[in-house]
Structure 1
Amino acid sequence: MKVTRALLPLLPLCQRLLPTRLAGLSLTLLKATALEIAILAGHLVLYPSGITPERRRSPIPTQSLADLPDPDLGTDGADGTADAARLPTPDKPPVVLLHGFIDNRSVFVLLRRSLAQHGRQQIESLNYSPLTCDIRTAAELLGRHIEEICERTGRQQVDIVGHSLGGLIARYYVQRLGGDVRVRTLVTLGTPHAGTRVVPLMNAHPIIRQMRPGSGVLEELRKPAPHCRTRFVSFWSDLDQLMVPLETACIEHPDLLAQNVRVSGIGHLALPVHPAVAAGIRQALDVEEETTRAAAHTGGLTVA
């Protein structure tokens, strides 16, 4: 990887100036920072393409087993086998991608491609206004979008992947607005579930204040949710510069079926982009509920 090779000459200097453990950490941090800068530069190029809402595609019809001919009767009276082209499509719900603060759907270009290449036929990338000032209002708007998606696709539920603020908006919809009826699995990437203390000077923005520890929105999310049916998977990074403290991106709630996955070696912007995280997201969306209940509440993913 070019970033790694570029940083190798710095290793002897780090080893001389710092203890071995700190030198290794510094090299990892340098690599993660270089990757964040590269991703930011690429995202700035793609950003204009994601400003407008995406074009809605007609859903691909799926067939149930009842629609298929009986193999014993034959399909054409010749060989008695069903036409392979008419085999039923796996019943996977649509995936809704929700971006973070002052961002748009272009952040999910690579993740969307990864999901499509692995069998997800219905993927929706939603934009909310950069002028959004209230998580509750954004969650209500998300709910209306989800209802429209379900009606258009004929599905009863969707999966959601939310990056940063997008994950918090989706969680509010699920937990406080009855969205657990519509959302089967919610995957969050670097979402401040317990609030972040990063950049105190940004408190002038109302939605930033809602992402601070102890805000009214976060206190609402701490309330009991005994009948919530949605499964939660939270990816958090040990090098996430926007999560202070880092563990704030974990979901800790006694009533929620939640799994926290620690990602090592990348920063905040890389979470919706890195192929290893994309593989983890696909696994989280495909896992059965029984498997989630049996799994530990914490997991690990090293991408460095």
Structure 2
Amino acid sequence: MSAEAVEQPGEPEADLASSSARGGLWAALDGLRYGARSALSPRVLQGAAVEIGWLTTHLAMYPLGLVGGAGSRADRLTLDGLTPAQRGLLVGDVRAAGTPILLAHGIVDNHTVFALMRRNLLRRGFSRIHTFSYSPLTLDVRSTAERMAAEVEALCRESGSDQIHIIGHSLGGLIARYYVQRLGGDERVHTCVTLGTPHQGTIAARLLPWPLVKQLRPESDLMDELAEPAPECRTKFVAFYSDADQLIVPQRRARVRHPDLIAENVRLRGVGHMSLPFHGEVVHRITGVLAHLDEQVA
């Protein structure tokens, strides 16, 4: 039930996946060659220039994220002190305005990567925004997803809400998907938005022997597990992927491609991996999606 915005051309996925059968070294070299070809395309080079600007800003903010996570209070919703745009969301759909949003960052990152998105969500009237943080030394997606499950339950108790939304960048999106698809998180998560998440793995992960990175390889046990049937999953997925993503190789592997999942894949042009949480089109699309809580498919 995937709704593709635009199909992205590229090499046959079977050819890329089968390269792993020739051994780790050859597979890594294949990934390096493919990545080099992608990196030299005009759109990627243009996106890289923008990426450098955002990365410089983010590096300046990064130390602030080491102090602690950012979270909003779960106070009772009122119109006091709200702008017209915020009042419009609250009056138009009080349930949408009050549904908690959990932000999950990528590997070796922290909540500051969502600074711009968080500000825009607050401006639109979303009042309950929290972050899920994990150590850059994390070794396993599954155990981190279990910790996310516990935090979601605590968030629901605190806010009094039965459901939340999750926005995950890179690895954060994969942790969220595992929680939703394999740990029963679809009962709690109405919409899961992912940005540059290796839903089908990335051959760039073959270049590093780190245990966590190995789980991101297309041929990993984790990817096999996520490909298993999930016939009763009710969460709606919205996956943003870009033709200029330097870390998801090939870039189309950031799409959700599962026959049992309700998914919309949104292709972007010229947006680098680290720029995705800052990109205006992405932020605008996310606020539009979350502003309308349609009924989930049973």
Q: Shorter-normalised TM-score: what interval?
A: 0.7 to 0.9
Paired position in structure 1 for 2:177: 171
Structure 2 residue aligned with 1:106, among 109, 112, 118? 112
Higher relative contact order (CA 8 A, sep 6+): 2
Does 1:121 pair with 2:136?
A: no
Q: Equivalent pairs: percent with the same residue? A: 47
Structure 2 residue aligned with 1:31, among 42, 46, 52? 46
Between 1:230-239 and 1:27-36, the stretch displaced more is 27-36
Tell whether the 8 Å contact from 2:43 to 2:244 is kept in structure 1 after alignment: no
Q: For the residues of structure 2 that align with 1:37 and 1:87, how far apart are their CA atoms? A: 40
Paired position in structure 2 for 1:280: 285
Length-normalised TM-score, structure 1: 0.76
Structure 2 residue aligned with 1:183, among 146, 166, 189? 189
Q: For the residues of structure 1 that align with 2:205 and 2:198, how far apart are their CA atoms? A: 14
Q: For the residues of structure 1 that align with 2:184 and 2:55, how far apart are their CA atoms? A: 35
Unaligned runs of 5+ in 1: 1-24, 64-85, 294-304
Structure 2 residue aligned with 1:133, among 139, 150, 168? 139
Distance 1:212 1:26, change over 3 A: closer
Paired position in structure 2 for 1:210: 215
Once the two structures are TM-superposed, the CA of residue 201 in structure 1 deviates from its matched residue by 2.6
Q: For the residues of structure 2 that align with 1:162 and 1:47, how far apart are their CA atoms? A: 18
Distance 1:28 1:87, change over 3 A: closer
Cα RMSD after superposing both structures:
2.0
Q: Which amino acid aligns with 1:218?
A: M
Unaligned runs of 5+ in 2: 1-39, 79-89
Q: For the residues of structure 2 that align with 1:251 and 1:259, how far apart are their CA atoms? A: 8
Paired position in structure 1 for 2:94: 90
Tell whether the 8 Å contact from 1:231 to 1:289 is kept in structure 2 after alignment: no
Q: Which amino acid aligns with 1:142?
A: M
Distance 1:56 1:26, change over 3 A: closer
Paired position in structure 1 for 2:83: none
Bigger-Rg structure (1/2)? 1
1:1-304 matched pairs, under 5 angstroms? 27-54=42-69, 56-62=71-77, 90-92=94-96, 93-198=99-204, 200-202=206-208, 204-289=209-294
Once the two structures are TM-superposed, the CA of residue 277 in structure 1 deviates from its matched residue by 1.0
Q: Which amino acid aligns with 2:49?
A: A
Tell whether the 8 Å contact from 2:44 to 2:245 is kept in structure 1 after alignment: no
Tell whether the 8 Å contact from 2:74 to 2:128 is kept in structure 1 after alignment: yes
Classify the secondary structure of the residue corresponding to 1:251: coil
Length-normalised TM-score, structure 2: 0.78
